[in-house]
Amino acid sequence: MTKLSVNINKIATLRNARGGDIPNVVEVAKDVQRFGAQGVTIHPRPDERHIKYQDAYDLKPVVLTEYNIEGNPIDSFLKMVLEIKPTQVTLVPDAVDAITSNAGWDTIKHKEYLSEIISECKHNGIRTSIFVDPDLSMIEGAAHTGTDRIELYTEEFAKQFSLGNKGAIRPYSECAILADKLGLGINAGHDLSLKNIRFFKENIPNLLEVSIGHALICEAIYLGLETVVKNYLQKLT
């Protein structure tokens, strides 16, 4: 079975929009695990516009499944990761001002840089994963960095699938086959949703983990909205 790691960044975004501590990210992390999720993912950014660095520390005692921290390995991020020692760190080359992740690593150009960071994380008992585009050369490059896993960047698949182009899965399948041959574990994430996740899973051999946040939280709002409205109406009767 492929593990589901729930990215709770959007919960923090909602909290920050109003100030205070509602919704509480620690309680949400507890709940998604209670509901069956096998992991919790966060992606703190330098401006802390959603998950804050303090959240990363606060979540450590309550994530009893797999704790995955994603981010660009700048000094402050690495310091935090090495102190918290999550189950997994996913290295993502997002720019400081990026709205969301929009590209994978050039694992050939940045081989030495990535290798050094990965070595330090693994020395501290942290599993490593590299965010990569579905490009065979980038998969080969990732294998030379010493990483444990790769995370396939799935935005293009999701976009094409929504347009009816199921053939867009092909490069992802090919990369997964190569990654497995090279001894790399396979994760995936970005714009995966209830609409496309089964098809993706069925076509990606040895898929270990998916990290899903934006779509899952949006779907949770829609699927739960009727219940909440009816509960309010009942109390107002």
| pLDDT of 94 | 82
| pLDDT of 211 | 97
Give me the catalytic one of 43, 66, 151, 209. 43
Give me the catalytic one of 50, 66, 151, 190. 190
Q: How many domains does the chain have?
A: 1
Three-class SS state of 18: helix
By CB atoms closer than 10 A (0-12, 13-18, 19+), residue 223 is exposed
Tens of pLDDT, residue by residue over 122-169, are 999 999 999 999 999 999 999 999 999 999 999 999 999 999 999 999
Strands 207-212 and 3-7: parallel
Q: Which of 4-8, 108-112, 224-228 has the lowest mean pLDDT?
A: 224-228
Tens of pLDDT, residue by residue over 185-222, are 999 999 999 999 999 999 999 999 999 999 999 999 99
Task: Determine the average pLDDT of the residues in 43-55.
Answer: 94
Give me the catalytic one of 66, 70, 151, 209. 70
Q: Nearest CA to 53 among 78, 17, 30?
A: 78
pTM: 0.94
| pLDDT of 1 | 87
Other beta carbons less than 10 A from residue 160's beta carbon: 15
Find out whether 142 and 184 touch, Cβ atoms under 8 Å: yes
Find out whether 55 and 28 touch, Cβ atoms under 8 Å: no
Question: Which of the pair, 81 or 237, is modelled with greater confidence?
Answer: 81
Tens of pLDDT, residue by residue over 54-99, are 999 999 999 999 999 999 999 999 999 999 999 999 999 986 655 5
How far is 196 from 200, CA to CA, in rounded Å?
Answer: 6
36 to each of 4, 5, 32, 211, how far by Cα in Å? Answer: 9, 10, 6, 14
Three-class SS state of 212: strand
Q: Nearest CA to 9 among 216, 231, 230?
A: 216
- Work out the mean pLDDT of the chain and round it to a whole number: 95
Task: With cut-offs at 50, 70 and 90, classify the pLDDT of residue 101.
Answer: low
User: Which domain covers residue 148, as residue numbers?
Assistant: 3-236
Find out whether 200 and 189 touch, Cβ atoms under 8 Å: no
Whether residue 177 is predicted with pLDDT greater than 70 in this model: the reply is yes
Peptide bond into 73 cis (omega under 30): no
Is 43 catalytic? The answer is yes
Report the CATH number that the domain containing residue 56 is assigned in CATH. Answer: 3.20.20.70
